[in-house]
């Protein structure tokens, strides 16, 4: 079983926490109950780097402590992992792998499958592409007072195709009974942090499109920087992200 059923927008979760707690917990609890009833003993959980809260040390590694996240969204991921940990400890032969995503962007190379959310996008890349396409009049950059090179927030962006390949590796690890513990955790990122302005400038260079953006105040729940070390996923899953930011952006635009 692969569990993707969660709401995922930081800002929206701050505005409507009960909606996030209800959906993200009920979907997991119902899934685990059904798995127990029908004897499905493996689960891959779609988690998030937000479980690390505001990390004191970067890049994030296995040594980083999970903290109280700064948003209800992140907290649902942290608590869901605790639920899975308790469940795997209580059930014989039940195993879970939690994949902690950093910032997925990009699209399938065909251009036939991409990120087109309903309503106003909550994530950076679909807002950028919709602004460039004339669907959105203006792109808002939230915060230019971070202690970074260009004063905008830094994130570790990962191509969705690389992310999909990591799930295949996780499936193979569970099916082959190679996990060391009944509950395992892996960070999925490239190991490189890019600022918001890095993404904007790279988009303009790759596509030739000009973006109309403005600077606004920070959003509740946003952090200065999040990027990961990749050694654990490389060693244990046999997985490493292959695609660079240029390709992530080009496939998103296509």
Task: Find the length of the chain.
Answer: 254
The pLDDT value recorded for residue 247 is 97
**What is the pLDDT at residue 68?**
87
Give the tens place of pLDDT for each residue, 86-118: 999 999 899 999 999 999 999 999 989 888 777
Cis, peptide link before residue 2, omega less than 30° from 0: no
Q: How buried is 202 (Cβ within 10 angstroms: 0-12 exposed, 13-18 middle, 19+ buried)?
A: middle
Q: What is the CATH number of the domain that holds 184?
A: 3.40.50.720
CA distance 252 to 157: 12
How many structural domains compose the chain? 1
Backbone angles phi and psi of 97, in degrees to 5: -125, 125
Q: How many CB atoms lie within 10 A of CB 67?
A: 15
Which of 224-251 are b and which e, b meaning 16 or more Cβ less than 10 Å from the residue's Cβ? bbbbbbbeebeebbebebebebebbbbb
- Nearest Cα residue to 219 out of 34, 19, 15, 1: 15
Collect the ranges in the chain with pLDDT lower than 50. none
Q: How far apart are CA 96 and CA 84, in angstroms?
A: 7
The residue segments making up the domain with residue 22 are 2-253
What pLDDT score does 12 carry? 87
pTM of the model: 0.91
Taking CA atoms, 120 is separated from 9, 144, 220, 222, 235, in Å, by 11, 22, 18, 18, 39
User: What is the set of active-site residues?
Assistant: 73
What pLDDT sits at residue 63?
A: 79
φ and ψ of 69, to 5 deg: -65, 165
């Amino acid at each position: 079983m692969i569990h993707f059923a969660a709401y995922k927008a930081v800002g929206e979760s701050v505005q409507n926490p009960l909606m996030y707690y209800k959906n993200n917990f009920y979907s997991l609890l119902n899934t685990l109950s059904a798995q127990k009833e029908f004897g499905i003993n493996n689960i891959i959980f779609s988690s998030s780097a937000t479980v690390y809260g505001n990390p004191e040390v970067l890049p994030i590694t296995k040594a980083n402590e999970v903290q109280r996240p700064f948003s209800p969204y992140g907290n649902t991921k942290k608590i869901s992992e605790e639920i899975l940990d308790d469940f795997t400890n209580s059930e014989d032969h039940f195993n879970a792998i939690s994949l902690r995503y950093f910032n997925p962007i990009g699209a399938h190379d065909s251009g036939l499958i991409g990120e087109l959310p309903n309503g106003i996008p909550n994530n950076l890349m679909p807002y950028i592409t919709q602004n460039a396409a004339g669907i959105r009049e203006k792109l808002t950059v939230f915060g230019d007072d971070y202690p970074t090179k260009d004063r905008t927030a830094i994130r570790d962006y990962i191509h969705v195709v690389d992310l999909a390949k990591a799930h295949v590796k996780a499936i193979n690890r569970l099916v082959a009974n190679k996990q060391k513990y009944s509950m395992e955790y892996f960070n999925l990122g490239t190991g490189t942090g890019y600022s918001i302005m890095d993404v904007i400038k790279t988009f303009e260079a790759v596509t030739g499109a000009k973006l109309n953006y403005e600077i606004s105040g920070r959003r509740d729940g946003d952090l200065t920087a999040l990027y990961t070390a990749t050694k654990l996923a490389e060693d244990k899953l046999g997985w490493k992200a292959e695609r660079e930011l240029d390709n992530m952006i080009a496939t998103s635009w296509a």
